[in-house]
Amino acid sequence: MQTSKRSKADLFARASIPRALAAMAIPTIVSQLINLIYNMVDAFFIGRTGNSYMMAATTVTLTLTMLNVAFANLFGVGGGSLIARLMGQQREAEGRKVSAYSVRGAILLGLGYSLVTGLFMGPILRFLGASDATVGYAEQYTLYVIVIGSMPTILSLTLGHLLRNTGYSAQASLGLSMGGVLNMVLDPLFMFVLLPRGREVTGAALATLISNLFSCGYLLLACRRAAAGAKRPDPLPRRLVRHRASLRRPTPSSPQGEGSGAPLTLDLRQARGLEKELARSVFSVGVPSAVLTGLFDLASICVNILAAAHDDLVLAAFGIVMKVERIPNAVNIGICQGMMPIVAYNYAAGNRERMQAAVRTARNYGLLVSAASILLLELLARPVTNLFLNTSAEDPAGALATVGFAAAFLRVRCLAAPVQLVNYHTSFALQAVGNGKFTMLHACVRELGIYIPLMFLLDRLFGQMGLASALPVGEGLAAIFALWLLRRALKDRRTGGAVSDCKG
């Protein structure tokens, strides 16, 4: 299962930062882009109908699908970052217990989310902005993707985080990407061949469900193989350990030598032996990460509600824009996710110079991506948004109006890319060093203290263009706060208690 002769410890502790970051980030970026494409494929094929109400319905349900990501972050990011820190301390046996705890938690959380959504689907969709014209389409999509499909989706994303944080970025990315490719194939088959006209949303939902089930099966297999067949990382070199007192010797259940595998397991019984301190460490990072995604989802809900108050066409336009602007975000999130295990490993190992070099390098790469995205989206706003809606089909007048709104909104909102990168980067860096307190503070200030209030204020003052401009203004103010937090956290050797929390 190893992707190179260089062990995971070599990659995290000794390879050059650009090389290590590329090895971890490139597969993640590819996976992010493929999964983004397959999410956009639903919108693309639905757009071929020329039905703006179907497009608006998928905008409403995007909020519910994003909650899958938030729930996966609870155990995927929380457990994965802790396992990376435990690897830096040569404590793989405890890492396996954390992985079992995380997998069990993801399964239970997914089942609970499906049950609640199924029981209260109608009221939930109405709250999210569904109108009489869109609620039927939204229910079709929600039934298959959320009520039936949430558990395998949340489990897949959690397993992807766990694999990535133990050095198996390529395997994690392949599993998620394969589901995306399959969805691209199945979408037109279900939407335009197997199901009758008018059921295109149901077809897109079925294709997504089947693709997510396939990804889940592959990632379960990849996790099992990584746990059973990988070569154990080499012991950390003494010259890299600045705080040897914080490191513990491997336990008898974590033997030295070949074949012990990655610190992962699908044996859920091992979760019973997890120490309370380690369980708290999972939640200390996982809860802020989930809250961050949940607050981002709350902000999307507010956008939907405010946009729907203007017009269903404005809502559909914002739905298109929020899909397009995720392209640079996906690349930057991939860079940050690739950075995360390198930072976590070296933080726990005491190599703060290498940790800070990884943080700087990832930020610089992300800023370059952001600058390029602004240039391209400003020049190509109209043709890009036009890809998502057929302006010569069922309702050409409505489609043309929707595309016009979308192009105008995109030219404003794409300006947020660099400051969004700063906010993402700060959040991932804080999670990597186990600083849940600052992660939570940043998330709450960013969304609740700045962006959401600005959204309502600017919408009231300037209408729909004010709503669009709230993103760059809000993210810019939040980025200033984020840089201050990150600087303070990296200067503090006691950051978040990341090492002490791992002592068990």
What would the pLDDT profile of 259-283 be if each residue is shown by its tens digit?
Answer: 456 788 888 888 887 888 888 888 8
Q: Is pLDDT of 500 > 80?
A: no
Contact 163/226 with Cβ under 8 angstroms?
yes
Cβ atoms of residues 43 and 302 within 8 Å? no
3-state secondary structure of 111: helix
pLDDT surpasses 80 at 254: no
Segment of 6-20, 37-51, 118-132, 490-504 carrying the highest mean pLDDT:
118-132
* Predicted local distance difference test score (pLDDT) of residue 320: 84
Give the chain's mean pLDDT: 81
pLDDT at position 390 is: 63
The DSSP secondary-structure symbol of 49 reads T
Phi and psi angles of residue 6, each rounded to the nearest 5 degrees, phi first: -70, 130
CA 381 to chain centre: 25
Q: What is the pLDDT of residue 261?
A: 63
pLDDT at 39: 65
Helix, strand, coil percentages, rounded to 5, for the chain: 80, 0, 20
Q: What is the pLDDT of residue 92?
A: 78
Across residues 199-226, what is the average pLDDT? 88
Largest CA distance in the chain: 71
CA distances from 403 to 34, 284, 390, 464 (A): 24, 43, 9, 14
Residues, the chain, total? Answer: 504
**How far is 408 from 414, CA to CA, in rounded Å?**
10
% of the chain at pLDDT higher than 90? 25
